[in-house]
Amino acid sequence: MNYNIENIAEILGAKHQLVNPAQISHLATDSRNINFPETTLFFALKGVNQDGASFISDLYKNAVRNFVVKDNFSTKDFPEANFILLPDPLSALQKLAAHHRQQFSFPVIGITGSNGKTIVKEWLYQLLQNDFNIVRSPKSYNSQLGVPLSIAQISPTDNLGIFEAGISEPGEMVKLQQLIAPNIGILTYLGEAHAEQFASRIEKLREKLLLFSNAEWLVYSADDDDTAITIRQFLKEHPHLKSFTSSTLHDADFRISSIIPVEGGSRIAGVYMDKPVEFEIYFKDTASVSNAISCYCLMLLLQYPPSVINLRMLQLKPVAMRLELLEGIHHCSIINDSYNADLDSLLIALDFLQQQQQHDRRTVILSDFLQSGKSADSLYSVIADLLQQRALYRFIGIGHQLVKYADKFSCLPNTAFFNSTDEFIQSLPALHFREETILLKGARSFAFEKISKAFERKVHNTLLEINLTALRHNLKFYRRQLRRGVKLMAMVKAFSYGSGSYEIASLLQHAGADYLGVAYADEGVELRKAGISLPIMVMNTEEEGFESIVRYNLEPELYSFKILRSFYHHLQENNIKDFPVHIKLDTGMHRLGFEQGDMEELNAILHANAALKIRSVFSHLVASDDPAHDTFTNAQYELFQTMSGRLREALSYDFLQHISNSSGIRRHSRMQLDMVRLGIGLYGVDSLPDTQLQLRNVSTLVTTISQIRQVKKGESVGYSRKAILDRDSTIATVRIGYADGYPRALGNGMGKMLLQDQLVPVVGNVCMDMTMIDITGINAKEEDQLIVFGEGLPVSLLATWAGTIPYEILTNISQRVKRIYFEE
């Protein structure tokens, strides 16, 4: 969003007091969450318990100068602020967002239903993100407030929108339709959530259908007769709206003939345009299958070939928004579903609970249900019946209603009831939870996150956070530097430079990398076992790995006559022909590879060899990042062209050539040839300053303070008394040491960490599991978090302090450091 404050006042047609020009790029309704005060417009919304206007004084002190307030607000205490005054700030927010939406004409997908909106939205993002610049609702922003905040994100670089819409009472969807204005609609499962404000299920359905009043297409399941009849009537009332249906029971655009459990997932088969089609997903639960079918239909509607859809459906990943599986105390597993509490989501959660096989005992901890559309007596009878079918070991109810209706649950074993979450937590030690899978299912107001925290097993507080959105950004950046047709091999050796193996490879596969490169066969085997199907080159081929290479369809680098002949004999013994391999040429690195003098013998062997199929010929630039060695780099390139040219003459087929690495992609663009190998640049590190500015940080290593103490001048800190303090100091001990990969060379002031945006020096020697830092003058407390490297403290700077290179820092991060993956 990019408007000046005068534009906004005009759009809203409101009374205003504008004293300073201002450009607005951000809208905010939460005073705690403002990062760019100068360009933020704050809407002071009045809620049930709080009035946003009461926070304006604090915001003003923190440099926010633009506000939308009720027309009776007194502005006299804020002389430098701009105010837009009107009867209803929420309506103003919606009006501004609707105007913003009208500025864009690209396709928009609108999703509504009772369950599955967020999953379908996020899965469509996974399926389509390679083909579109997608703007979508963050998290579950689908309300009267969430939708306009989502719409405000639209920018000129976007060419597809995916937004979800939720309602809780009649009259709401008309407003959301004006905001989203979808071209294509998707109706997910219609259940009982928020049913209490509607006279009937059909009335709620008709309200939801209003989202699609001006759409061109509506995707929905025709299995439910009442739903199908209501939608057909709606289609008659809106003749411009066409439908795309799926059904297991009736004729439909996608007629589903079978849904079969297979190893690790489900296979859905049916008929589309009179042709049999099928796809698989790595999910078994009913909700995921239903959501996947919605996504599949949308892809068919967009005219994607079934073969392309099938591959992408296999790459769908869980959306960790509502259900989280955690390791708990006393060998328990915790399913945290404290996002909402309604019958439909309870069914989903119970289904997920049943899938967990790690423990024989299954326990449900449930809060009162606050919105159901049923009487309490009827509601808790239904819930008790549902639970009775699940063969639970234990049931615990929390809330006044569950206490009142405890007798409904007498059919369940080991029951206990508590009036509040705090009361339950106080009784936790006496309940002796052990070796159970525990489902936490609670409405937000019950703060079940307190229970989750009480159950969670304490882990090492040093974490490596991996920003997958940033990784994808970096991949796209380098792709834009390539000439048309040039392929890209992404290097994932050494645990993807410390970032993780399968998690990174999976993203790269989905993002369209052409090849993956690993150091050893074992790394490639693990990727194959995790479902990675991209071609994988093994760079350090060993005879011990031949069997695995062949079994898992890995492609070895052959770099010497010994390894070439050994692999050739292995293929002959197993009667294998045309196995893909890569030939490494030594053009100056003098590490591995065939030299120029080897070419005649190499040509003769390869020419007469039917077992091998040369997939590529490549070499390695020694100093592509250093202008001082450009003459040598150019000589390497010319020698490589000569040597690979001789190979091409000897063979009766063509192959790929590649020599360029991360720094060479831009500095030596003529050397891109048929493929480039992208390594550390993918992870946000490049030697070219102008390139570095365009990359995003991927890995952030964080730790926490375990203890703070005051140490007098003249006292020592750490082993061998290497640090003698020259002043009274505040010393913090943090939970990271050289066993975690923090270099010992960073001790005694050589290294620093980032605490509250301030660099603090390391004091004394780095210990195995701990490091001491000087935080004198900073108001910190125990358990505060520090950045070891990441945003604000680049890993390249840490490497400079340690006298090494970023590669070494990243790849040395210990496996005991937990990796957390997230997308923005």
Which run of H or E residues covers position 204? helix 201-209
Between helices 117-128 and 306-314, what is the axis angle to 10°?
120
Whole-angstrom Cα distance, residue 362 to residue 436?
Answer: 6
Instruction: Let me know: does 679 contact 617? Beta carbons within 8 Å.
Output: no
- Comparing CA positions, the residue from 573, 131, 264, 551 lying closest to residue 536 is 551
755 alpha carbon, distance to own chain's centre: 26
Angle between helices 502-511 and 521-529 (to 10 degrees): 70
Looking at 304-444, which runs of residues are DSSP E strands? 324-327, 333-337, 361-367, 394-398, 415-418, 436-441
The conformation of residue 745, written as its DSSP 8-state character, comes to G
Question: Catalytic annotation on 272?
Answer: no
Assess contact for 646 and 686: CB atoms under 8 A: no
Which value, to the nearest 10 degrees, does the dihedral of the CA atoms of residues 774, 735, 497, 794 take? Answer: -20
Give the integer Cα–Cα distance in Å for 499 and 495: 6
Tokens, residue 534? 């991209």
- Which of 15, 453, 562, 719 is an active site residue? 719
Strand partners, 556: 538
Active site residue 60: no
Contacts of 453 (CB under 8 A, 6+ apart): none
Instruction: Specify the residue for token string 């609609």.
Output: 185
Asked if 760 contacts 752 with a C-beta cutoff of 8 angstroms, the reply is yes
Closest CA to 770 of 460, 459, 457: 460
HEC assignment per residue over 674-705: CEEEECHHHHCCCCCHHHHCCCCCCEEEEEEE
> Which structure tokens are listed for 79?
């002389």
* C-alpha–C-alpha distance, residues 235 and 215, integer Å: 11
Other CB atoms within 10 Å distance of the CB of residue 789: 26
Query: One of 493, 584, 752, 821 is an active-site residue; which one?
Result: 493
Per-residue b/e over 53-70, b at no fewer than 16 CB within 10 Å? bebbeebbeeebbbbbbb
Backbone angles phi, psi at 621, to 5 degrees: -70, 135
Q: Where are the beta strands (DSSP E) in 423-578?
A: 436-441, 463-467, 487-491, 515-518, 536-538, 555-558
Tell me which long-range contacts 744-752 makes (C-beta under 8 A, separation of at least 24). Answer: 745/801, 745/802, 745/803, 745/804, 746/798, 746/801, 746/802, 747/718, 747/722, 747/771, 748/722, 748/723, 749/723, 750/801, 750/802, 751/798, 751/801, 751/802, 752/793, 752/801
C-alpha 167/C-alpha 244 separation (Å) is: 23
Tell me the catalytic residues.
493, 719
